[in-house]
Amino acid sequence: MAKKATIFKAELSIADMDRHYFQDHSLTIAQHPSETEERLMMRLLAFALNAHEDLEFGRGLSTEDEPDLWLKDLTGSIECWIDVGLPEERRLRKASGRAKQIIVYSYGGRSAELWWQQNCKALERIKNLKVVNVDSESSQSLAKQLGRTMELQCTIQDEQLWLADEDDRIEVLMTAL
């Protein structure tokens, strides 16, 4: 019998001074059986960084034609396609024809560095693509905040992000590639 997704609930309060976005979100996040805790929290981080009332989690790992998150306009056109991890260049090239903007949040330390080195020439040709690498220590610290129910506060100011729960406050270090 196949394993089922694990469901997580998050109350996420976002104070994004850079975009003047201040909102609370009640999120339900399904963790695919093959997905790590670190990856799930990276999806939550990607949501916080791009928060919008119409931003939705895609099916991600369970389907090839959907991103981890996406923002669609009223006509169903994809405004923003967001992937976390180290997606294949071919997937991003295909997405570039479907979405106005693509954002990748890479993580994983040395493996993310190698992925970028191997793919940077091809990825730089995709004009509507933005790649942001999240520091390995930051992504691993985020995974430690995971709980079946979470109350998180996210503060973004001057392109710096802090994510806090009742026990811990993490500064998430990111680099645009």
- Domain of 59, CATH number, reads 3.10.640.10
Q: How many C-beta atoms lie closer than 10 Å to residue 128's C-beta?
A: 15
pLDDT of the residue at 110: 96
Q: How many C-beta atoms lie closer than 10 Å to residue 79's C-beta?
A: 14
pLDDT of the residue at 3: 78
pLDDT of the residue at 62: 61
Domains: count for the chain: 1
pLDDT of the residue at 61: 63
pLDDT of the residue at 60: 62
Distance CA 116, CA 113 (A): 5
pLDDT of the residue at 76: 93
Distance CA 52, CA 25 (A): 9
Let me know if residue 105 belongs to a domain.
yes
Whole domain around residue 98: which residue ranges?
36-148+164-176
Phi, psi of 147 (to 5 degrees): -150, 160
Let me know if residue 25 belongs to a domain.
no
Residues of the chain with pLDDT under 70: 1-2, 60-63
Among the listed residues 158, 155, 105, the one whose alpha carbon sits nearest the alpha carbon of residue 130: 105
Do the beta carbons of residue 139 and residue 146 sit within 8 Å? no
